[in-house]
Chain A
Amino acid sequence: MRLSNVKTRSETGLDHVMQSINVMTPFGKKRLKSIVPFMPGDEDRLNEEFRKLEELLALADEKPQTVELLMETFMDLKDISFTIERSKNNTLSVVELFEIKSLLLKMKRVTELLEESGHQLSEEFILLDIMELLDRLDPRKDRMNTFYIYDDFSETLGGLRKRKRELEISVRKEQKIIKQQIETKYGISLTPKFDYCVSKSNKELVRIIREIPELTPGDEDYLSVTFVLKNTGEIDELIREMDLLSEKIEAEELKIQEALSKDVYRFSGILLENCNKIGELDFILSKAVYARSKNCVKPRLVPGHKIVIEGGRHLVVEEILSQKGKPYCPVSISLQDGVTCITGANMGGKTVSLKLVGLVAMLTQYGFFVPCASAEIGLSNYIHILIGDSQSLQRGLSSFGSEMEELKEILDHSKDRSLILIDEIASGTNPVEGLALTKSLVGYLKTRPYISLITTHFDSVTVGEGIKNMQVRGLANADFNRLEKELRYANRRERIEIIQKYMDYRLYHVDNDEEIPKDALNIAKMLGIYDEIIENAKKFLNEGR
């Protein structure tokens, strides 16, 4: 059974966080991709995950340089698990062996870095010993990230190659001697390739050169002829021997490759396990680095179903604000099974608070730290956020239609310990029926073992036994004189920003019978809607009362 749907993961901001964490290795990326949420009952495992996170957080705090070097080591790691598996029945190529050696050197580096840091890390992060295999692939033990079937791999190979090089030199020496003889004898100079090109128009020269016994005509056309050095019997003999040696060398190289491949296979289990360990280290380290950079804390897990957030920040909104150089106003909220409503001013951040609850709950269950001063979480079996989006319009459904479709999904999937987040349901239909529907839904949810959080503008929804009412402070405490002064000369964008500046986004608990403050007209006015319209609206309001 799944915890949430795709839309909930993206709307709450979980996807954003997952994309923001900087996993560097292919193994870490694999680990991130296969992430599964922790469900109620998994508290011990989740606490263990948090403990590992804390462990690496401590490493990052105390040894920032170690972490930096680790990340540098992770940077160009390649996933060669296929090569490792291939070693079972195949001879690995030189390039593949090079890649194995590179990987081994990286593993050695990771082990050394962790040892040097003096931090005793959990078993999960400690790589298994691979030095024996590394020694096999690096017989010279110079630990350079280069590879070749070096002479040192076998005495035979070294001997064969040495002999071949000697022969090459002998051939060249022999050719050089002949070249010199020709040059002194006939006064011509051959190219480094031991050839000589003559233009046919110089008939006399061609004739003379043809007479030289050490040269033989090679490439020829109607204008020129290239003479090349004739091989002496001695040279021919040397070349024949070289060819034979080449064959032997190739066979010997293949033998070494086969032996090395067998060694790799012998270690394949260890190698693959180490890859997983690196993935785990990379994944959790990047979570730790992210948590540090975003001021996230470990949520306290509790057995009961509840969500208590102190000073929570929605990471996506916070990022946008910080780009504009603006502070974020943290929000606190405490939720238990039953229905809680958030009411309050327009532009008061009700929806953001709703998403914040979703994000904190989701992050916890996916094993992340949470962007709060502190948080207490009891895990949920099902999390769903119902929020208007543009996608439903693209699908051709009216906003009300798609809302109802999704509400049905929620009702069908909910079970005990569900977290249901609903943003202004039924606001797209007539207020009479909308209100009735919302009230009835609240009544239904109230009796279920769900944590339901609903934002709404309908006053009377919030009235009733077992319904908790939270309100946005909004502009209640704002200095309206100053606000108006500032607004007077502002342009459109500035108006919004000024209102945001005076807005108090914090939530507070209100009694059921308290009336919801009516700020809509005020805000419409601040945003420059004509007085005529605002005044008439006020008149209608009074008439209605």
Chain B
Amino acid sequence: MSMDSLVREALLPLVPIVEPHSYDGEELEYITFQSTILPEVHADGHPGALRHLLQVHWFLPRRVNPNAKKRAIAEELWAAGLTYPSITDASDEEGQHYVFECEGAENGDV
């Protein structure tokens, strides 16, 4: 399963909009995600696995208690086989924004 599919499958039950890169729609609560891919290179120069440094961005309105869902998102990422995420609060005057950072691998283990 690709990383995109894995993230979408894990988080769609929690937040109905989960889009790679960006979201331009009207909903106030949504998730976007992106990853930096680092090849784990073997001695022969060919990557044995692709290591994804994943950022998951959860946007939601101000004055909504985020705690239960914040924990649920972290748990779902973990349950999907990614490392347990660190969470950075990047909220500003426009709304709440939490960034979950974790790692995962494609084509083998990291």
Chain B binds chain A: no
Interface residues of B (CB under 8 A from A): none
Interface residues of A (CB under 8 A from B): none
